[in-house]
Amino acid sequence: MSDMSNKVALVTGASSGIGRSTALAFAARGARVALAARREEELAELAAEIEAEGGEATFVRTDVSVAEDVRRMVEHTVETYGRIDYAINNAGIEGELQGIAEFSEELWDRVLDINLKGTFLCLKYEAAAMLDGGHGGAIVNVGSINSFLGFGGGAAYAASKHGQVGLTTSASAELAPQGIRVNIVCPGITDTAMHHRIRAFIGDEMFDTIIQNSVHLGRRGLPEEIAETIVWLCSDEASYVTGTTLTPDGGFTMTI
């Protein structure tokens, strides 16, 4: 994979799971990494880990549903490293799983604000910084197999993830002529805290049955595997890839 030395990667939702693994993957390829999430202590620990391995990292506490936080996140990255080459919009929540008839407006708003509005706000400020820098860049939004599939109890989550696909293709159409590629990665069942919470909700037996019957590879993905897909999309090897959806899901969506 192409050398990413002297490049700058901004990763939201970097405190755990796919975001954390993605930040580590960028750092391993020489990129300087800006870490963003709401959990500042975990960000500080990750930055220290990257620096202990000889990399460079900074962090900024960010709630992606708040425009001022996102503006400050991008501004901090540019002030620290002078540019943004890669932006990974990974922050998201599943929210409480509730039946549609009982689904509260407050829960709906919270999930959509973080997952969909948050992705929009990140795109808005990241694109502006890349355009100001005049050197192009690559943006990857992180969706889900629920960007195509709904599931009982997850109306807000599925709606927000479907919406990210429209945001991605629209942003790509607008920004590609200006040298900014925008893609979306939609992971399948991955070994993260979010999926452990879903496992607890539906039960181990049902969860394992879904994996055995629906995932061609017969196992959960690892956060590191999703991170490699994200980093590849940002690399020079993916220079002709924009406006597309990649589904590292072990074959799950091919079974539906």
Which residues belong to the active site? Answer: 157
**Residue 248 near residue 216, CB atoms below 8 Å:** no
Rounded CA separation 255/228 (Å): 23
Residue 187, Cα to own-chain centre: how many angstroms? Answer: 10
Rounded CA separation 175/181 (Å): 7
Rounded CA separation 15/63 (Å): 12
Nearest to 19 by CA among 109, 87, 73: 87
Tokens standing for 69? Answer: 């936080």
* DSSP assignment letter at 176: G
Assign 190 to helix, strand or coil.
strand
Tokens standing for 20? Answer: 């954390």
Rounded CA separation 136/176 (Å): 9
What is the identity of the amino acid at 220?
R
HSE (side-chain half, CA atoms, 13 Å) at 158: 12
